Structure 1
């Protein structure tokens, strides 16, 4: 079977997506893909979500930060951004999603917008409420492990 000529092939855009969640959240590409499909279907309907054809290509998550590359048909970037904004939890783990940029190829998307955000997080031992605890440091935010769960704090909370 022959390939379609170039002018008849579907055209794609690739969205670089930054993901932020609690440090103990663990989900994979499949779970994120499923939530993205549900969000697109609820927002755009069956026909609209099928037309946009959202697919998660690259996915990486570690210590509460991650990145993904989402493929979408050209002309449906705005709908894809709206569907991504509707994703607020994956497997009962709350997440924040931010589109960093849009590109025409996967390679350009990774080179321009994805820089390994998961590498900027690091585990530390901090003193919080008079006792030493484990925390994950990310920029000026700290996620402190307490017996009741994880608490978000800033640098000012430790002084």
Structure 2
């Protein structure tokens, strides 16, 4: 089966969400997703819920604190926020849900709003000043380990 052309593919927005509850609350991923779907169904109905297409992509929760990344269709972010605002209980435990931010990609959502940093530099063995050395390559910069310290270089220098 062929993929759809880019202009026909659905466009998504990713919501970074903070979750707060009591320290003894135990909320698992499946229960949280199911409660999101029920809240959407109750607030905007079956058709509205299908239009939002709210899906849980990543989830972590421990000791009363957690975070999640949710996916929603591009034009439905406001309704997705309303669904999250209507969520007050999950599996009998009271929860507070806060949208930290909205992004166009999962990676940007993690980096900006979830406190996750981009991947660190990659280590490579390179030849620099006629000797084999270790270089840390990443984010448009190259740092080559010399005997004394690091030397800044470009990809053309190595």
Number of residue pairs matched?
116
Normalising to structure 2: TM-score of the pair?
0.72
- What's the CA shift string for 1:126-151, capped at 9, x where partnerless? xxxxxxxxxxxxxxxxxxxxxxxxxx
> C-alpha separation between the residues in 2 aligned to 1:26 and 1:70?
20
Residues 56-75 of structure 1: pairs in structure 2 closer than 5 A: 56-75=56-75
- What's the CA shift string for 1:42-80, capped at 9, x where partnerless? 111100000110001100001111000000000000000
Look up the match of 1:26: 26
Runs (4+) off by over 3 Å:
none
* Structure 2: runs of 5 or more not aligned: 117-158
Residues 109-148 of structure 1: pairs in structure 2 closer than 5 A: 109-115=109-115
**Bigger radius of gyration, 1 or 2?**
2
Q: CA RMSD, aligned part only?
A: 0.8
Q: Secondary structure at the match of 2:17?
A: strand
Normalising to structure 1: TM-score of the pair?
0.72
* Structure 1: runs of 5 or more not aligned: 117-159
* Pairwise CA distance, 1:27: 1.3
Residues 46-85 of structure 1: pairs in structure 2 closer than 5 A: 46-85=46-85
